[in-house]
């Protein structure tokens, strides 16, 4: 199934503040509107992370307007999990939640063990380095899973 773009994908992590918003934005940058993409978290108790905004900005991705949301809020807003072809969990907690919530649906749940950069680094530069590693890890996994970028200019967009 590698190289095949799903019609819709949901990326999820713990708080929808770092990894899943990065993945949502990267997917849109690399593959355009070919796939409907959203993100959510197990909890919605944090705003979008400033370091995530900074490292995505390096690649021309705007994350500052992202509003975090939980699985529960998705359901409240009418974005039912059963409407997605693929759920990609980026953390162990989101994998468990996604599997629990989708056990009655026929859809794929994949687990991509992506590093959580939030507790890494003492200095600003060390933190940025950790966030860049997470961003680049997501991007590499995405290209491995969905194939080369389909949007002009996205292939060379690796920042660092």
Q: What count of residues does the chain have?
A: 160
Mapped onto helix, strand or coil, the DSSP state of residue 91 is: coil
CATH architecture of the domain formed by 8-142: 3-Layer(aba) Sandwich (3.40)
The strand pairing partners of 109, in sequence order, are 87
Distance CA 21, CA 131 (A): 13
Question: What's the rounded Cα separation, in Å, for the pair 141 and 146?
Answer: 8
**Per-domain boundaries in the chain:** 8-142
pLDDT per residue as tens digits for the range 9-19: 999 999 999 99
pLDDT digits (tens, 9 = 90+) for 26-67: 999 999 988 999 999 998 877 888 999 999 999 999 998 888
| 94: helix, strand or coil | helix
Q: Cα–Cα distance between 148 and 86 in angstroms, integer?
A: 18
> What pLDDT, in 10s, does the model give residues 61-94?
999 888 888 888 888 877 777 788 999 999 999 9
């Amino acid at each position: 199934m590698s190289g095949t773009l799903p019609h819709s994908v949901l990326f999820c992590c713990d708080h929808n503040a770092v990894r899943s918003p990065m993945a949502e934005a990267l997917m849109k940058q690399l593959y355009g509107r070919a796939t409907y993409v959203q993100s959510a978290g197990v909890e919605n108790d944090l705003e979008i992370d400033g370091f995530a905004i900074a490292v995505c900005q390096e690649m021309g991705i705007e994350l500052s307007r992202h509003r975090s949301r939980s699985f529960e809020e998705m359901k409240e807003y009418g974005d039912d999990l059963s409407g997605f072809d693929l759920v990609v969990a980026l953390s162990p907690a989101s994998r468990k939640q996604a599997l629990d919530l989708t056990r009655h649906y026929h859809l794929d749940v994949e687990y991509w063990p992506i590093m959580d950069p939030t507790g890494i680094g003492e200095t600003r530069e060390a933190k940025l380095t950790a966030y860049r590693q997470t961003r680049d890890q997501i991007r590499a996994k995405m290209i491995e899973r969905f194939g080369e970028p389909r949007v002009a200019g996205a292939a060379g967009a690796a920042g660092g």
